[in-house]
Amino acid sequence: MYLCPHSHHTLEQPIRKIIHVDMDAFFASVEQRDNPELRGKPVAVGGSKARGVVAAASYEARKYGVHSALASKIAAQRCPQLIFVKARFDVYSAISRQIRDIFYSYTDLVEPLSLDEAYLDVTENKIGMPSASIIAKEIKKRILEETGLTASAGVSYNKFLAKIASDMNKPDGFTLITPDKAEALVAGLEIEKFHGIGKVTAAKMQSMGILTGADLKLRSEEDLVRHFGKVGRYYYRISRAQDDRSVQPHRVRKSIGSERTFDDDLTEEDDLLERLQYLSEEVAQDMARLQASAKTVTVKIKYFDFTQNTRSKTYLSDFNSASAIFTIARELLRTPQLPAYPVRLLGIAVSSLTYQHDRLQEGYQLTLEL
């Protein structure tokens, strides 16, 4: 691109250049990269034919309606030739760090959302390149050369549009949304494709006659706030292709967490532990990025009937590894007893955080490695 400033952008506020990079079927693609026998075949990471939950599905498997968070049993019914592979989170984490290092060679304004996706603000960048499109294509090329994996990139002038763009031509996609095309594109978008509008909200909107971005734009801000609360203001803005959220590399947070809602409620301990392992890795990744360590772990459990409880434990020593988080979370899951009812959502959060820059003066060491 070269995104040209429009008259409504003042000189003090140059138009931003945001890239959203999303790895293609990340976990499954890593398994296909490392095992040539899996290439071109439907692969599910996590679970087994009899039980468990799919953590990721290859594109070959997706054609059969297999996707992450689907019960493995249903996945095997939809695709009888599906190959189940055990998740290797340590490998995915290492590759994720490799990819982030590529991002940091262009800008320090990197906001990872999970192991496999991130926002970058390249308005100002380390190579003095005015075109965000050229940077995005270069990043894709380098990811492929250095990891053997493909990524999709979306480029636009805000986070909402960049995220939508990266999803438009997967896998190995590149999409640019310029200011003159944005509003028409958002108007034609189905409401369930909007980032930030989940299944439940989409269903509520559809029942109100809001099926597309154009329908959403007809509603007043007051109306949306009345129906959806504070987030209604965000919906009002995104229907107009507006999003002023900045790319935030160093949010000083009180807690760091990750949670997942499952399509099918989980009842088996192994399934719950597999999910906890994944969440522990995600939280540890975030901690590493923020150079944080924690003393408290909280596990959130939401049941099939939407009741929920949380279980917490605080230690005297700091920890920051996925294995430490997982060990504590596993203990919390089993204390006082394993969930007695089917589980709809699991979450892990760590708190009582300290950041490395606060600790340097104190010559302080991370002691708890479980």
Spatial CA neighbour of 58 closest among 34, 92, 82:
82
Q: Look at the block and give the residue holding tokens 């990079």.
A: 21
Q: Is 116 annotated to bind ligand? A: yes
User: Hey, how many other C-beta atoms are within 10 angstroms of the C-beta on 233?
Assistant: 14
Cα 201 to Cα 205: distance, rounded to the nearest angstrom:
6
Cα 273 to Cα 271: distance, rounded to the nearest angstrom:
5
Q: Look at the block and give the residue holding tokens 């190579």.
A: 127
Cα 351 to Cα 219: distance, rounded to the nearest angstrom:
39
Cα 44 to Cα 60: distance, rounded to the nearest angstrom:
10
Q: Is 167 annotated to bind ligand? A: no
Q: Pick the catalytic residue: 60, 117, 274, 282?
A: 117
CB 118, CB 106: distance < 8 Å: no
Cα 133 to Cα 173: distance, rounded to the nearest angstrom:
12
Cα 180 to Cα 164: distance, rounded to the nearest angstrom:
16
Q: What angle do CA 317, 322, 116 make, to 5 degrees?
A: 140
Cα 106 to Cα 143: distance, rounded to the nearest angstrom:
13
Known catalytic residue at 138 = no
Residue spans of alpha helices (H) in 25-177: 26-34, 59-62, 72-78, 89-104, 132-147, 159-166
Q: Which two structure tokens, joined as six digits, stand for 102?
A: 């590529």
Residues annotated within the binding site are 22, 116
Q: Which residues are catalytic?
A: 117
Residues annotated within the binding site for Mg(2+) are 22, 116
